[in-house]
Chains A and B, each alone.
Chain A
Amino acid sequence: MEGRWPFALFVLLLIALHFLLRIGLGLEGTAPDLLTVALLLTARRVPAGWAAGVGLLMGLLRDSVNLTSFGADAVVMTVLGFLGARSRDYFVGESVLFLLVYLLLGKWLHDIAFHLISGGMATGEPFSSVALGSAIAAVYAAVAGVVALSIYRALARE
């Protein structure tokens, strides 16, 4: 319980940083996908229903600047939040290696699911190029997420 508010603040900072880097500074894909990282980290700490709700809200934030497939990211993030929370039933632990793999798979799953649900109408790119591109983006996001969480843990003394 005592770590709830600092962690909520950390997640809000990740969300703000995501939009600051991608929209505010115009870095686009050069910046890591901290929004998905924030959801995946949240999902490990809250009940599955709440994780889905947080995913819905985060997805809507991202969808608001997407003219092609509004709601697609909300659907994907809702499911991802739920699955992330349910992953606690199968994988116990918070080691760096585990988090790296968890974030990598979560982000990869997000990008592929988004491509499928938006039916290629968003990008028109072939699946193979999406799978490869999102794998690289997933590694980037996972490393950024682990670094961010390590800083948080050091500051919050978790």
Chain B
Amino acid sequence: MPSYFESRRGRRRETVIAALFLVVALVLFLMPEQYQQPIRRAIRTTVLSPFIGFQSALAQQDTRMVDVGALRAERDSLSAVLAAQAPIVEENRRLRGLLGLRQRAEPGFVPAQLVRVGVTGGESTFLLNVGRRDGVAPGSPVVGAGGLLGVVREVEEGTALGVDWTHVDFRASAMTADGSAYGIIEPRPGRFREEDLLTLTGAPFHSDIPPGSRIVTSGRGGVYPRGIPIGVVLGIDEADTGWRKNYVLRPLVRPESVSHVLVGRAGEEGASDASTLWYGSAPPDTGPDAGPVREAAEQQGGDR
């Protein structure tokens, strides 16, 4: 059973020891990010690695246990759709080959499973079952079926740690799909996490982005490939000092609903423009690759 009472000297000694531990904790809390990162990684790759490994194994098992009947029904439906759309597929393949889009889109991303870390304060953090050996690096974009979900922050050999767009430090350079206005995407916390939205800040005051407009990554800054859908404009948020406008966006990907994602690979040429993953062609803007796209489209128009 516990010892309930200590001598006065013993109490003082214990208080001093506790104070020393508190100082160590405060030093760890206040030290710069670059010193915190190796400590965090060391703990994760040693003490917590069995749990992270178990999570990866379980996620793979889940994927294998998908109902075979449902898969067969899906395959049959897809076969019917493909048979009906064979001419379109063939034309699409030819056009993609013509424009060189296939090389741009395909090698840039790797599929991954996502699991939330489930700790207090880590609500915006997630674990991925891909890592350095898959070509993932810090800064790699993480996208869901609807569009941009977040970004990878730390990478190990077979796992990675990232944050989604609800994280307070999340930023992305963005533009309207037609390239008429540019700005920076920031999270806009709601009263509850389900109410979290996004804000497009710093849009030019003269630009008027109507509700319903689609906002995509602009590719500026080199963090996110150009053309990844982010959200849809709900309305104007506020005018900033009379020179800029902020718009509220409805995100196209809700973090709580995502379990499978695509993660951008570092150094892949195809990762610079991801618009072909969501559109038949790149959004018509002033990007560096717009010239050949426009010429090909004109040539295609001329052929008809």
Contact = CB atoms under 8 A, between A and B. Distances in A.
Contacts of B47: 61, 64
A97 interface: no
A72 to B, nearest CB: 6
Interface stretch (A50-58, A98-106, A143-151): A50-58
Nearest to A117: B29
A14 B185 CA distance: 41
Nearest to A45: B2
Contact of A24 (B6, B55, B187): B55
Interface in B177-197: 187, 189, 191-193
Given A56-B25, A59-B25, A71 B31 contact: yes
- The contact size tier of chain B is 35 or more
Interface string B16-43: 1110011011101111010010011101
Contacts of B16: 49
Given A24-B55, A52-B22, A68 B124 contact: yes
B299 interface: no
A121 B54 contact: no
Interface in A87-143: 88-89, 92, 111, 114, 117-118, 121-126, 129
A65 B122 CA distance: 7
Contact of B22 (A69, A75, A114): A75
A68 to B, nearest CB: 6
A26 B118 contact: yes
A48 interface: yes
B24 A122 contact: no
A116 to B, nearest CB: 12
Nearest to A51: B18
B21 A19 contact: no
A79 B39 CA distance: 21
Given A3-B1, A19-B51, A48 B120 contact: no
Contacts of B220: none
Given A64-B44, A65-B161, A121-B168, A22 B117 contact: yes
A65 B163 contact: no
Interface stretch (B7-15, B70-78, B207-215, B281-289): B7-15
A155 interface: no
A125 B168 CA distance: 11
B28 A31 contact: no
Contact of A68 (B5, B6, B15, B167): B167
Contacts of B191: 125-126, 129
A53 B40 contact: no
B122 A67 contact: yes
B51 A66 contact: no
Interface in A71-89: 71-75, 77-79, 81-82, 85, 88-89
Contact of A49 (B15, B36, B59, B119): B15
Q: Report which residue of A77, A88, A124 has the largest number of chain B beta carbons within 10 angstroms of its beta carbon.
A: A124
Contact of B121 (A45, A46, A47, A68): A68
Given A19-B51, A20-B51, A24-B51, A72 B15 contact: no
A71 B10 contact: no
A143 B80 CA distance: 54
Interface of B: 1-2, 4-6, 10-11, 13-18, 21-22, 24-26, 28-31, 33, 36, 39-41, 43-44, 47-48, 50-52, 54-55, 58-59, 115-125, 127, 153-154, 161, 163, 166-169, 187, 189, 191-193
9 contacts: A46-B2, A50-B14, A65-B122, A66-B117, A67-B125, A67-B167, A78-B22, A114-B120, A122-B123
Q: Closest 8 CB pairs between A and B?
A: A49-B17, A71-B29, A28-B118, A122-B121, A52-B18, A64-B43, A124-B189, A22-B118
Given A26-B55, A73-B119, A125-B193, 15 more contacts: A19-B48, A22-B117, A23-B48, A33-B120, A48-B11, A52-B17, A55-B21, A59-B25, A60-B43, A66-B119, A67-B163, A70-B33, A70-B40, A71-B30, A71-B36
